[in-house]
Every structure is written in structure tokens, then in C-alpha cells.
Structure 1
């Protein structure tokens, strides 16, 4: 057994948490529920999600993925329903772009430290490494044999990652696209489907940029169930992050990214107060002072800052707008940026200290992952035996 290191609770409990649960039958209709008290979690559910281990997490990773994990892990209704939480590192997915081996190993440890520092107790959830479970790749191949090239060609993320036009008419079969697109990036959603289905996941928390992949997962799931009628995967539901995609502070037309050459565009969850204040002061806004409102089209910079505060404070962006205009009565961008900086510093205040402590004890992090790998492998191997029997590979 591994010893416990106290984890941070970076945002006070008891606040309202709004999440959207999207069912396959909804056909795009989003149902918003009060997650903390009313979210319908059927008994013996399995909630599953992975994140790529790219060093420290930035605030977009936190609000889009990790914060939902923490809220699920801290929700007393989850263990009471007999449900499982399975979270981990998508380190196979991360290799769609080659990594320096030594740096990659350290990045994986930093990712584990970031998860725990964000408030996720490894005693409340299985934390594992995707690459340690060979059944992911076994199921991936079986699902590849049931997935149409046309279905994959319609996915938009491979186009973005391959730096080709995001138009729905862009095809992987075009000569210019073939020069840029790698098979791993194109086939990525099938491995993602295998990750989810391997654990018979019933709920998958994701950011809005992954909803298309979840729809494909449900399509692949249905195809497998129709083809092999003696084994049925449950249709996984989407738990959609309430926070909109967090954008670059320096260029709010782009998603916040660690790989951005301008590191002032990105706030990491382990940064100190002075660095956060400096980066927010340099954030792009607009020329309109006062009368702040959420308008991502006409005021993308301001709206991005409002979106971040909304996510950290667990409330609708309209409440932030009301607080800024009617309560605080902020008059200019300096006051707005001071307000945003304070909210971020308060929301992330304990992450930095806990992260530093964890990185000083790498044997603890390795023990957490080893125990999680053992737990995940036990589930995966049992399910994979049944799947292989269903397709005639027993």
C-alpha cells in the first residue's frame, strides 16, 4: 500500500457546480443539471477519462478536465452508488508527436503530481498509465476493423493537429494532406474509443473539443454490439465541462497551449502570484473600457478572462458579469485584470506548494501509478478476455 500525501482542495466545497450530461439519444441536445446534489449517477457506473501527460498543466487543462475529475472524486454520491472513477495518463496518445525519452518520463511524473496537487486523492480514484495496460492496443485493433475511413475523415482534430484546413470538405486522401497527416493522428479517435470501452465506461467527462470523438465512440460501440451480439458495451454518456475552451491570453483566436512560443499566453496551475499577475497584465483585451459583458465574437479577449473566472468560481459567466459591473463596478482594463488575477491566484493557491512537495518524492508518484496500473490491469484483462471470446479469439 502507498502512503498518503495530503492533497489540495483548491476551490471551496459547497459551491454550485453546473455540468451538462449529454445522452446519445439527445442528438445534440445538452441537458444541464446541478451536478453536486442532483446529477443522476446510476449504481455501479464507471466514470473514465484520460489526459495527455505534457508536464505541468495549464489552467485550460485544469478547467476542461482535471477540475471535473476532482469534483467527481469529492462527490459523496459517487462511492455511495458503488461507482468507480478511473482516470489516467494518455501517454500513448501523447506519442503522436515524438518526445525526448528522458523528458517524457519526467513529464509523466509531473502530470501525476499535477493531478494530485489539483485535489484528486489516489485513494478515491484509480490513477493509471495507459501504456502499462496492453489491452488498450488489443481492443484498438479490433475496433479499427469496424471503423470506416470516412468516419475518421470527418473528424476535425486530425486536421488541426496536421495543420491542414479544418473544412469539412478537406480529405486525408488529398495529396497535400497526405504529406502532413500521420496515421497515429488520423487513427487517434479509435484508440480513444478503445480506452473508454475497455473499462465498460458509462460516463466520460470531457471538454467541448472532444465531443465529436465521443460521438464516434458511441458509433463504434454500436457497430461492435451489432456485429458481435454475444457481448455488449454500454453506451458511454458525455459529461461536458461547463467552462468553454480556454484561449491564449496573447491571441484569443487560438486555444491556450503549452507549445505556444509566447509563454505569456499560458498560465500554469503551479505558477506563483507574481507570475500570474504579470501574465494577466499582458493579456490581450480590447479598446472598450467599462461595461464588461461576455461576447466571444466581438470581445474575445475580455470574454476569455470572464470564462476563466467563471470556471474557477463554479458559477455562470452572467454572475461574473453582474459582479464586475454592479458590485465591484470596475471602470477599466487594469481593474478588470486585477480582479481576474486575484480570482486565479485564489483558485490555484495551494497547487504550487503541493506540486513542489510531490516532485520531491518521485518514489511516491511512482507508487501511486504502480498501484493504479495494477487495479486498471485487473479490470482490463477480465473485460478483454470476454471481448476476445465474443470475437472468436478465445
Structure 2
């Protein structure tokens, strides 16, 4: 039987066909790498949407959220630090509002079926397609990363993460759309080669999100890997730390508060943060009239207050949860058991299709 690997059609947008108004049962999967406590950019750009999806879901929908440790080791890691960061990532997800009784929350590396399905899918994935992955090329182009198989093939592991639970929907940002297209194509290739509708072709969920930039270089996304810790706001930063980082945020020589991402990126980034953190729906990102007579110092103070208001409950809950080691372990263990019960059935079906079932 020859291999079939065709391009799938573009996935529809969230508003058109991924809306929660539809009553098709949804299985939603998403993951985050264990890089310790996420920063404000992670939260406003992705994690807050996990909570929104949980709130918007119906009782028969299934939400599966994972701390993806196997992805983390595509780059060198200190073992002791990785253990701490896995726990911190789990505590943060609980602190922001992920409910382990409503969503399956687990560590990917504790469910071995992920790695096994990744190998099977890797036997279908064309090298040329993986070589064109923009995220891989971007990391290699920096010269700071060796060309290793794990980094090259991690989009296949990502596909396995999604398909192992027969996900129907995946919340993605623009930088991950290419990976979801690969996931759909691998699912389609498997279904066609083995003449069975084993996998769904997962759709993207394009949810409203904010792209938050570095406080020190507004041409770069806020990132934990940035050398300057003042470039980012951690979800466990204190009120004083937040105020200091916002006060030191690089803007420009003009003191006028204007929304102009092209010519005033630093101020525009602070406006984005303010809009994302405020509870006032009337405060639009580009609505700057109310700041006409506001000094830059006072404006930054208001941004810091809004961030602290949003972060303080998360910070408090994180510290409470992180001190309860037994609870974190219980959530992780229970989540892994629930995930494994689904993953093992899917892998058994896949192995049976390809002729590797137990005899």
C-alpha cells in the first residue's frame, strides 16, 4: 500500500465553525512547556483562553491540558531545575483557574503513549515537510542550538499529543498554525493509508489573545529566555517588582500617550497590557483620549496598578498551592490516570490498524 500524504484544506476560523454554539461534542487539547512560572505574556496570550474555554464548554465536552515535559528536553535542561519547573507550571495552571474536576490536567511525560504514537507518526512524516517548519528554522538560525533529532521532529510529537486524545479542536496562536496543519495531514495520511477513520482532523480555535512584547525591547515578544529579567513580568512577581518593571519599561522621548504600534511600540505595548488587565470593557486598546492630559509617569503607574490587580489573586493562589505538595501530586497523578485511560485505547487501536497489536 503506498503512502498518502496530501495537503489538507485550510482550517476554518473560530468564529465560523469552532464556535461553542455548535453542539458537536468537542475534545480540546492544549499544552505548555514546563519553563517554571509563566509570565504575563504567556498568561494573556494563551493561558487565560484555557480558562475561558473551560467556562464556555458544555458538560459533554472534554478539555485536556498538559504540561509537556517531553518537548522541554528538545533543548538542554538541568534535571533538578526541570523537576521544579514542572511542579511550578502545574501549580500555576491550577492558580489561574484550571479546574482538575472539569479538565484533565496532567504531565505529558507521565503518559508513555505520547512517545510511542510519536514514533508511529514519525514513520509517516516527510523529512522535507519537517525541514520547512518555521519554528525549527528560527531556532537553528540563532546558532545557539545544535541540530538534534528531537528539536527537528518535535512537531510530530506535538501531533501525537493532539491525536492521542482524538482532539477535535486545538487553541493555537499564529505561530503554531503550521504545526496544526502538519497534525491534520498526519491524521489524514494515517486514515487513508490504513483505510479507517481513526483520527479526527482537528480544527483550530482562534481565540482572542494579546501579543505582549518585552518591556525592554518592544520588537521582541515577552520571553523568559531574555537575559534581562526586567523585560518580563512573572505571575508571581510582587507588587513592588511589577511597579518597578513597568516604571523602567522603555518607551520613547515623547510623553504623549498614543496608540501607534509602528512608531510608538513601547507605549502601545503598555496600552495593550492595560487593556488586557483592566476589567473596564470601555477601555479599548486604541482609545487614548482619556490619557490626553496624563503624564507618562502617571500612565505607567496606572498600568502597574492594573497588572497588580490581575496578578495578585494568581500569585496568592500559586503560593498557597505550591506549599501543598501532596495536593499537587494528587492532581498530577489523577490527571495522568485519566489521560492514560484515553491514550491507551487510542494507541491500542492504532497498533491494531498497523499490525502491531499484541498476539
TM-score by length of 1: 0.83
* Range with bigger deviation, 139-148 or 301-310: 301-310
Whole-Å separation in 2 of the counterparts to 1:43 and 1:391: 29
Q: 1:29 to 1:43 in 2, by over 3 A?
A: closer
Among residues 314, 317, 333, which one is paired with 1:354 in the alignment?
317
3-state SS of the aligned residue for 1:319? coil
Q: Report the counterpart of residue 58 of structure 2 in structure 1.
A: 79
Whole-Å separation in 1 of the counterparts to 2:293 and 2:118: 52
Among residues 31, 43, 58, which one is paired with 1:50 in the alignment?
31
Q: Report the counterpart of residue 107 of structure 1 in structure 2.
A: 85
Deviation at 1:315, TM superposition (A): 8.6
Whole-Å separation in 2 of the counterparts to 1:339 and 1:179: 40
Q: 1:258 to 1:327 in 2, by over 3 A?
A: same
Q: Report the counterpart of residue 42 of structure 2 in structure 1.
A: 61
* Range with bigger deviation, 372-381 or 257-266: 257-266
Q: Report the counterpart of residue 280 of structure 1 in structure 2.
A: 246
Q: Report the counterpart of residue 309 of structure 1 in structure 2.
A: 274
Whole-Å separation in 1 of the counterparts to 2:141 and 2:189: 30
Q: 1:89 to 1:290 in 2, by over 3 A?
A: same
Whole-Å separation in 2 of the counterparts to 1:332 and 1:163: 41
Whole-Å separation in 1 of the counterparts to 2:280 and 2:171: 18
- Within a 5 Å distance, the mapping from 1:316-331 to structure 2 comes to 319-322=284-287, 325-331=288-294
Whole-Å separation in 2 of the counterparts to 1:298 and 1:136: 45
CA contact (8 A) 2:13 2:204 kept: no
Among residues 198, 203, 214, which one is paired with 1:248 in the alignment?
214
Q: 1:292 to 1:203 in 2, by over 3 A?
A: same
Whole-Å separation in 1 of the counterparts to 2:282 and 2:128: 38
Q: Report the counterpart of residue 340 of structure 1 in structure 2.
A: 303
3-state SS of the aligned residue for 2:284? helix
Whole-Å separation in 2 of the counterparts to 1:187 and 1:315: 44
Q: 1:179 to 1:91 in 2, by over 3 A?
A: closer
Q: Report the counterpart of residue 73 of structure 2 in structure 1.
A: 95
CA contact (8 A) 1:281 1:334 kept: yes
Q: Report the counterpart of residue 187 of structure 2 in structure 1.
A: 221
Deviation at 1:337, TM superposition (A): 1.3
CA contact (8 A) 1:60 1:245 kept: yes
Deviation at 1:330, TM superposition (A): 4.8
- Within a 5 Å distance, the mapping from 1:41-190 to structure 2 comes to 41-75=22-56, 78-80=57-59, 82-164=60-142, 180-190=146-156
Q: How many residues align?
A: 350
Whole-Å separation in 1 of the counterparts to 2:125 and 2:282: 39
Q: 1:307 to 1:216 in 2, by over 3 A?
A: farther
Q: Report the counterpart of residue 371 of structure 1 in structure 2.
A: 334
3-state SS of the aligned residue for 1:88? strand
Q: 1:292 to 1:69 in 2, by over 3 A?
A: same
Whole-Å separation in 1 of the counterparts to 2:300 and 2:138: 31
CA contact (8 A) 1:64 1:241 kept: no
Among residues 227, 233, 257, which one is paired with 1:261 in the alignment?
227
Q: 1:142 to 1:251 in 2, by over 3 A?
A: same
Question: C-alpha deviations, 1:330-363, integer Å up to 9, x for none?
Answer: 5332232122212211111201111111111111
Q: Report the counterpart of residue 168 of structure 1 in structure 2.
A: none
Whole-Å separation in 2 of the counterparts to 1:262 and 1:33: 41
Question: C-alpha deviations, 1:219-244, integer Å up to 9, x for none?
Answer: 22221121111233111111224224
Whole-Å separation in 1 of the counterparts to 2:307 and 2:297: 15
Question: C-alpha deviations, 1:113-161, integer Å up to 9, x for none?
Answer: 1111111121111101111111111111111111111111111111222
3-state SS of the aligned residue for 2:152? helix
